[in-house]
Structure 1
C-alpha cells in the first residue's frame, strides 16, 4: 500500500499541516480526541514521517549531543542507555562526545557544538573544568543544556543528580557501624560538586560519631589508575591503622583492591571497602564489593525528558526543573556486614 505524506494526511482530515504534525508528536497543544483521530487515520493510510523534511522545516538537526568525561565507568554507559530510549521515542539521533576528563577537550567539543550541529545538549563535566565560559557561550546561542551527575552551578539550567551528601554520609556511617575507626576517603576531584558533596557527607558522619577528621586521610584520586594504586600503597604503608576505605568512584575502589592485594592486606579482615559504583560485576569481585549504587538509567531518562520537553514546546529550561534521585546502599562482603 502506498503511503501518504503529511500534506495529504492533513487534507484527508481537513486539518492544518501544523495541527496534524503536533498531534502525531503528542504535543500538549492538541486535544486528545484530535490526537486519536489523526493517529488512527495515519495508521490506516500507512503514513510514515519524513524526519529530514521535518528537520528542514523547523531548522532542527533532530540530533542531541551527550558529553561525558569517561566511558570506563559503568555509570555513564547506563546513563546513555536511558538517554537513547527517550531519544528514540522522540525520533532523535544521539551523538556521544568524550572529554577524557580534559578541560581543553571539553572546550573544543563545546565550540564545535555552538555552531548549531545539535538541538540540545546533555552533559556531565570533566574533572579538570573550573572555568565555564565555553558553556555560557552555548546558552548565549540558545542551545539548551541539561547537566547530569557532574554539574555546573553557575548556569541556571536543569540538573539531574543524586543525593551525594546523604550517600557520602551513609557510606561512612556503614563503615563506622562495621567497626572502622580510621577511614580513608578517596576523592574523585576537588573541582567537582559531586566530589565535594560526597566528602562533606564523609566529614559529617565522622563528626556525628565522634571521630576526628584527619585531612591526611582524604586523598585526591584524579590521577591514572597506576598512580592511584601507588598512592594507596604509600598511604596504607604509612598509616597501618587505616581499617576502612570509602572510594568516591569505582576505579578508585579497584586501585584500593590492587593495593591491598600487593600489600597482603585482607579485605574485609584488615580493611573494609565501600565505593560509589554501578559495576555489573561488583558482586563477582573477591570479595564482593559493597556499593552505593546510583540510579544511572533513570538519571539518563529524566535528563533526556527535561531536554525533549523543552525542544518540543520551544520553551527555555529552568533550574526549577532540576531533580535529585536517591542512591542505594548494597551491602556485600567487602564490609563484612
Structure 2
C-alpha cells in the first residue's frame, strides 16, 4: 500500500508511536532504539515518505537548533568547549548556532534576543567579562527555553551550569607556591564581575590563611582591560617594597604578560619569582620558560553542558535551580615554578 503526502503523523499512528519519536528515528538520533528506527524507516520507505522539514518542526514544536553564546570563539578554551558541545549535539541530531559576543554586553543581549526569536530548542551561555544585568537571560527562562551556563555563571539565575572547581584549583596552585618557600604571593585578578575570578581569589586567600600567611592587599593586583595598563601595574608591583616571590594569575595569558614584565625588570624565573597560571592554554607550553598552570577540562565541560541541556529538552522538563556539574582541575608543573626537592 502506498499513500500520497505521507506525514510523520501517519507513520506515528500506524506504528503507535509519538510523532517526536518517529522524527528522531528518521534523523537517526542515538536515543531511539535500533528496532524502532528499523520499523520506522521500513514503513517510511514503503509509503514513500518525503520529509517536510518546516512542517515537521512546527508539528513537534522543535527546530532541532541549539544556541550558543561565548565571549570569543577564537579563544582556545572556548574553541575546545565548542568542539565538545558540537560532538554531543550533532550525535543527537541537533544543529548548533554559534554567536560570539566579543565580550560586548550589548552584543550578548542581541544574540540572546535573536536566538530566542529564532525558536532555538535550548541555549548554552558563557557570560561576557562585564555582564552585570541578566534580564536578557531571565527572558529566555521565562519563555521556558532550557538554558545552561558554562564556566562563567550567575548564581542569581535559576538555571544549571557546568563549571570547574576554580576554588580548589587556585588553592592547590597557591599551596604549591607556599611549599616551594614563597612567602610573598600575589594574585593577579580577573574581571571583578566573573564568578571564575571570585572563586579563584577565594581559593588563593584560603590557602594563605590555612598556612598562617596574611593576605597582603598590596599583593592583590586589580584587573585592567588594556594590556598596557596591566603591564604598568605589573612593573609597579615588581619595583615596589612588596615585590612578590610567587604569583598566581587568573589565567595563562595574564601569567604570560607578567613573565614578560619580570624579564624586563631583570629578574629570574623561578629563582626570583615563581609563576602559576590557570587553564593550561597553548601559550603555557609555547612560552619560555614553560608555564606552570592549572589544567581546566574545556572539552569535557562542553560535552557535559550539552548533555545537561539535551536532558532538559528530551525530558521536556526545565532544571529551575542553580544545580552545577563541577569538574576537577589538576596542577601542571613546568619551568616557572621551583621543584619541591630544591626547597
Where does residue 128 of structure 1 map in the other structure? 130
Q: Report what 2:274 is aligned to.
A: 272
The C-alpha deviation readout for 1:156-213, integer Å capped at 9, x for no partner, is: 1111011111111111001111121111101112212211111011011111111110
Structure 2, unaligned stretches of length 5 or more?
Answer: none
Greater CA drift, 231-240 or 166-175: 231-240
TM-score, with length taken from structure 1: 0.87
Return structure 1 stretches of 4+ with deviation > 6 angstroms. Answer: 42-50
Residues 1-337 of structure 1 correspond to what in structure 2 (within 5 A)? 7=8, 10=11, 14-16=15-17, 18=19, 19-23=21-25, 32=33, 34-35=35-36, 37-38=38-39, 41=42, 52-239=54-241, 241-319=243-321, 321-337=323-339
Q: Is the 8 A contact 2:252 2:284 kept in 1?
A: no
Residue 102 of structure 1 deviates from its aligned partner by: 2.7
Contact 2:158 2:320 in 1 (8 A): yes
Pair 265,135 (structure 1): closer, same or farther in 2 beyond 3 Å: same
Scaled by the length of structure 2, the TM-score of the pair is 0.86
- CA–CA distance in structure 2, aligned partners of residues 236 and 71 of structure 1: 34
Is the CA contact 1:74–1:278 (under 8 Å) kept in the aligned structure 2? Answer: no
Contact 2:29 2:93 in 1 (8 A): no
Instruction: Mark the runs of 5 or more structure 1 residues left unpaired by the alignment.
Output: none
RMSD between superposed Cα atoms in Å: 2.9
Q: Distance in 2 between matches of 1:23 and 1:62?
A: 14
The 1:139–1:104 alpha-carbon spacing in structure 2 relative to 1, beyond 3 Å, is: same
CA distance in 2, matches of 1:215, 1:23: 60
CA distance in 2 between counterparts of 1:43 and 1:222 reads: 60
Q: Given the superposition, is the C-alpha separation of residues 209 and 321 from structure 1 closer, same or farther in structure 2, using an over 3 Å criterion?
A: closer
How big is the shift at 1:265? 1.7
CA change 1:71–1:220 in 2 (3 A) is farther
Which whole-Å deviations, capped at 9, do the CAs of 1:127-161 have from their partners, x for residues lacking one? 21122122111111122210011001111111101
Q: 1:331 to 1:55 in 2, by over 3 A?
A: same
Tell me: CA distance 1:40–1:143, structure 2 relative to 1, closer, same or farther (3 Å): closer
CA distance in 2 between counterparts of 1:197 and 1:96 reads 27
Q: Is the 8 A contact 2:237 2:243 kept in 1?
A: no
The answer on whether the counterparts of 2:123 and 2:147 sit within 8 Å (CA) in structure 1 is: yes
